[in-house]
Amino acid sequence: MKTVDIVSSADATLHLTRAILLYQSSGGYNHVYASTHPIDIDASNPTRRVIGAGAPMQRADLIDFAAAIHTQTAHAGFVPENLLYTSPNLMAWWVPAAVRMTWFKTTLPEIGTVHGPAAHPALIFVAGQGGWHVFALRESARPTPDTPLYHAPHFNVNDSGRICTGNVQIPDNLGAEAMAGYENAFFRSHFTHTNRQKPRAVRSKGGLTALWVSQLANPDAAAMQRALAPAKETLRTVIKRITHSHNDD
């Protein structure tokens, strides 16, 4: 069971006022019914509260509920230009292509332990409570929800785009202010192993290892772009997939 922390910036007393009950068909979310209920005083015990008779939930009830919680859940602050998607449990953003200092610490004889500048493609990061993912963009431009994504050609990333964090410290929140922390955790940590099971993670002779050996010898943004392999997903479908996987955890 997951715990929920209720935090207030000042002393406050919360009173139970209404209840919402959800009824769901077994085996999925195809049929859902919601009812709203007043909270009544138990006639036999005035200190006890009971859920009263319910009524079907109406649109007006949803509006009232949203209005009641809006001021407590809304994020106040400027939205960064590179933020693509945000929800209470997930956020996605992109970073442009760039030549970056890159660190490797592997048991592979071709690379071993080495660092140096290398070209990285534009990337999309998706961070959530259930994991952290990365995907590549062919063009270094802000994507739309229907922009095709490519496999991130990086070590420490599996076939679904999930990043193996190991002992790397990542932010413990999902606010826009945490994006730089996630980026530093990715780019400034050591790439240690190839997590891919599928051989076509990149379109490059010799695969991931040969690609990065070549980049460390001569950073080449065009060569990195040519090496990208389609992930056969869009930003929209990736957000949907990751959101559903988190809900199933």
pLDDT digits (tens, 9 = 90+) for 3-16: 555 555 556 677 78
pLDDT at 1: 46
pLDDT of 125 above 50: yes
pLDDT band for position 124 (50/70/90)?
A: very high
Q: Encode 207-222: b = buried (16+ Cβ within 10 Å), e = exposed.
A: bbbebbbbbbeebbbe
On whether the CB atoms of residues 16 and 40 are closer than 8 A, the answer is no
* Cβ 242 vs Cβ 235: under 8 Å: no
How many percent of the chain have pLDDT more than 90? 50
Which stretch of 43-57, 66-80, 100-114, 159-173 has the lowest confidence by average pLDDT? 66-80
- Mean of pLDDT over the chain: 86
DSSP code, position 25: -
- Classify 143 as helix, strand or coil: coil
What pLDDT, on a 0 to 100 scale, did the predictor assign at position 28? 54
Q: Taking residues 77-87, report their average pLDDT.
A: 84
Between 42-56, 111-125, 215-229, 230-244, the lowest mean confidence (pLDDT) is in: 42-56
pLDDT above 70 covers a percentage of the chain that reads: 86
3-state secondary structure of 12: coil
* CB of 124 closer than 8 Å to CB of 104: no
Model pLDDT for residues 64-76, shown as the tens digit of each residue? 776 666 555 555 5
Sequence ranges of the domains in the chain: 18-73, 83-248
- Under 8 Å between Cβ of 90 and 178: no
pTM of the model: 0.70
DSSP 62-97: HHHHHHHHHHHHPPPSPPPTTEEEEETTEEEEEE--
